[in-house]
Chains A and B, each alone.
Chain A
Amino acid sequence: MAQRSARKWTMAVAAGLLGATALTGCSNGSSDSNSSANGASGTEKIKLSFETSVYAEAPHKKAIDALIQKYNEANPNVEITVHGTDYENFWDKLTTEIIAGTQGDIVQVYPENIATYNALQGDQGAFVNLDDKIKGTDLETGLVGQDLSKVNGSYYALSSYAWGSTGIFYRKSLFQQAGIDPASIRTLDDFKAAAIKLGMDTNGDGTMDQYGFSSVVGSHPFVSSEWYRLVARPVSGGVFFGDGEAGPYTADRINVNSPANVWAAEWWQDLMENPQATPPGTRDKKVSREMFWNGQAAMVMDGPWFIGMTKERDESLMDDLGLIAQPSVVYEGQTYQPNPHNYPLVSMISKNSKHQEEAWKFIEWMASPEAQEIISGSGMIPSSKAYAGTEAYAQENPLAAQFFDFQNNAYAPAVMDPPIAELGTLNQILINAAQDMFVAKQDAQTVLDKAADEMKKAMN
């Protein structure tokens, strides 16, 4: 009896093992997410993986799929697969992958992410130094955002996809009704006066139903970024370090509570508290945009992607969509040019990639006119100055071309977030401070002093 039982147990275990083996068949042979590990020999296809945070967005997905298809037509021996997930979770996934060394052959990020993610593999870095391919070539000067793709003076990414900056979108009809000439908005004070004038009770029921400017007020990161990109950075030079967020990045150079930043915060609080200028309550960016589209807000701060979003939302709104540059800021009798953030999506090559040269060829090809034309469908502005600076592009994309014009004529050089590993912590401190100032309406000086202490601790 005992023997029979033992035999049955043995059979059950054997069956279990057999089942597990069969299940293993369900697994992907090339399970390593860095597909380049497959190696290439003779006629075998070269496999590259392209990892990006924007693939979940329909216009980018369409553009990236079309890019790969076009590239494959000319290079049938190269197979590129795209890896991506929703924007919020992309960064955690990328962190895990870099720690494990399984990141894609090509990883697309924003310039401020380069230093942080490169440092996850310690001193040797997770990504390839591209100095020998970029320095002294046309790529160094011909691509918007290329100058931002450096860490310690070396290039770690190629800005061959697209970029965006910010401006003030407005509803032409609402400006006309209020008798405001958009060209007259040159300074922040003009902007505030227009916002107040645009706020009104349109149906006469005694309650406000139209506001001048819909800003983000809430827990969304834009609660701080709209403030510092429109008001603080032009006058203070930086909310983290000053002098254009330049190094050396030491605790004693923390600039968040400088007099100019405190003034900027008080100015923004004043705008938020004005019942005509901005709507009451809290809202994230999505609500803010909807208010603009619904005609409840006459102005919104946004980037070139907003043009495509508006077109998708309601094509008839396009005729009513206008764009002005971010206004200059007058502080203590001096006028400061706007210096808004630039958002180029740049591509890095993984050090673990076994096909670094092929990866480079692909990202370099992305800067070509045929690739840039495809990229223009993404809603952002193609990076090649030679392509996006043409008259043909301006005629085809008049609003997007305005951004190009702002960048060249109205804006000072973009002030970018500092390329340091502590940026995530500093950003969170600033978001918390912005919530205290603009949602909880606490005293700006006190809040920014506290934020400065926390930032100094983080830097130490």
Chain B
Amino acid sequence: MRTKNMPLVYIAAVLLSLFAVAPFIWMILTSIKPQAEIYSKPLSYLPNELNLQGYKSMLDVRADANLNFIQWFKNTAFVSLLTTVLSLVVSALGGYAMSRFRFRGRMTVGYVILLTQMLPGSLLIIPLYLIMKDYHLLNSYFGLVIAYATVAVPFCTWMLKGYFDSVSTAIDEAASIDGAGRWTTFVKVILPLTLPGLVVTAVFSFLTSWNEFMFAQTFITDYDKWTLSVGIASFQGQYVVNWDYLMAGSVLTTLPIVIAFWLLQKHLVSGMTAGAVK
């Protein structure tokens, strides 16, 4: 019976996969189509003529280049990596404390942290902007990292708490009997055991920063300091959309993430299921 149904399962899986990847395929195809073909009727699925102008413009590193895509790429990578490191350090400490220490108001603190996730970003933008202004953090990468961390840390803390909960406290006790202090236990015993969870959390934090638009668009003013999301959005003008730029930029922005996922997929899968079975 199961064997009989296998072809149907495969067909369903292929269809679902196609449904999921169709926007990406369309993005890649549009990025190599000439402008005229993008709007042509009837719709042309495959480009009749190859147009790599979008990619050439994105990767143009000459001083008088029309765009600063490479610079935006570097800015985004820098901000995302810094946010990931900061979020991971703070969240790991917070998550471990919530998982292991029994102190008054532990759960209240936890829920307050979670509550911050329920506020929409648009509500936070003006207060955050004013705080950034007071601390001279506008138009700076560090300001952006702080802003991103305010979003990433609460969620990552709860994620990591879950992973730390899945590690038996008997391991902490065993480490303690062997003479390890809290810090040694945390760094040398617990963190290595929750590595897949840390990877998942890091990927979440990195992705959130990599794709974020609203804070970057509001807090950063200099053209050279823009992040990829702001730069790509700028291809939509008041009167015209540069589709070849927009799609080529989107492909190049997506590519590192796809590669990172591919490299980390082993950890990601195990991280996602960690804690599911105790």
Contacts and interface: CB of A to CB of B under 8 A. Distances in A.
Interface of A: 1, 4-5, 8-9, 12, 16, 23-24, 26-33, 49, 53-58, 61-62, 81-89, 92-93, 96, 99-102, 285-287, 289-291, 293-294, 296, 305-306, 309, 313-314
A285 B132 CA distance: 38
B138 A32 contact: yes
19 contacts: A1-B181, A8-B183, A28-B140, A31-B137, A31-B139, A53-B238, A55-B223, A56-B234, A83-B222, A84-B234, A85-B233, A87-B236, A286-B39, A286-B240, A293-B36, A306-B239, A309-B240, A313-B35, A313-B36
A290 B39 contact: yes
Contacts of B78: 26
Given A23-B82, A55-B223, A313-B36, 20 more contacts: A9-B183, A12-B183, A16-B89, A27-B142, A27-B143, A28-B139, A28-B225, A31-B139, A53-B238, A57-B240, A84-B223, A85-B217, A86-B230, A86-B235, A86-B237, A89-B217, A286-B240, A290-B39, A294-B40, A309-B239
A85 B230 contact: yes
Interface of B: 35-36, 38-41, 66, 78, 82, 89, 125-126, 129-130, 132-133, 136-143, 145, 179, 181-183, 217-218, 221-223, 225-226, 230, 233-242
Contacts of B230: 85-86
A63 B173 CA distance: 69
B235 to A, nearest CB: 7
Contacts of A61: 66
A30 B203 CA distance: 32
A291 B234 CA distance: 24
Contacts of B82: 23, 26
Residue of B82, B138, B182 with most chain A CB atoms under a 10 A cut-off: B138
A189 to B, nearest CB: 29
A286 B39 CA distance: 9
Contacts of A32: 133, 136, 138-139
Contact of B133 (A9, A53, A86, A102): A102
A5 B237 CA distance: 58
A352 B142 CA distance: 25
A29 B142 CA distance: 11
Nearest to B135: A31
Contacts of B125: 96
A294 B41 contact: yes
A46 B181 CA distance: 57
A413 B35 CA distance: 37
Contact of A56 (B133, B136, B140, B235): B235
Contacts of A30: 139
Nearest to B182: A5
Nearest to A2: B181
A88 B81 CA distance: 29
Given A49-B221, A85-B230, A57 B66 contact: no
Most B-side CB within 10 Å, residue of A57, A62, A85 = A85
A285 B240 CA distance: 8
A305 B142 contact: no
Contacts of A5: 181-183
A36 to B, nearest CB: 13
Contacts of A291: 39
Contacts of A81: 222
A85 B213 CA distance: 11
A33 B36 contact: no
Contacts of B241: 286
A165 to B, nearest CB: 14
Nearest to B183: A8
Contacts of A286: 39, 240-241
A289 to B, nearest CB: 8
A2 to B, nearest CB: 8
Contact of B130 (A82, A100, A305): A100
B218 A96 contact: yes
Contacts of B142: 23-24, 26-27
Given A26-B142, A93-B217, A54 B238 contact: yes
A285 B239 contact: yes
Closest 8 CB pairs of A and B: A27-B140, A290-B39, A56-B234, A5-B181, A87-B238, A27-B142, A57-B237, A83-B221
A88 to B, nearest CB: 7
A51 B41 CA distance: 39
Contact of A96 (B35, B129, B236, B238): B129
B188 to A, nearest CB: 12
Nearest to B130: A100
Contact of A102 (B38, B39, B138): B138
B129 to A, nearest CB: 5
Contacts of B225: 28
A100 B35 contact: no
Contacts of A294: 36, 39-41
A57 B238 contact: yes
Nearest to A11: B183
Given A287-B39, A294-B40, A33 B238 contact: no
Interface centre among B136, B137, B242 (most CB of A within 10 A): B136
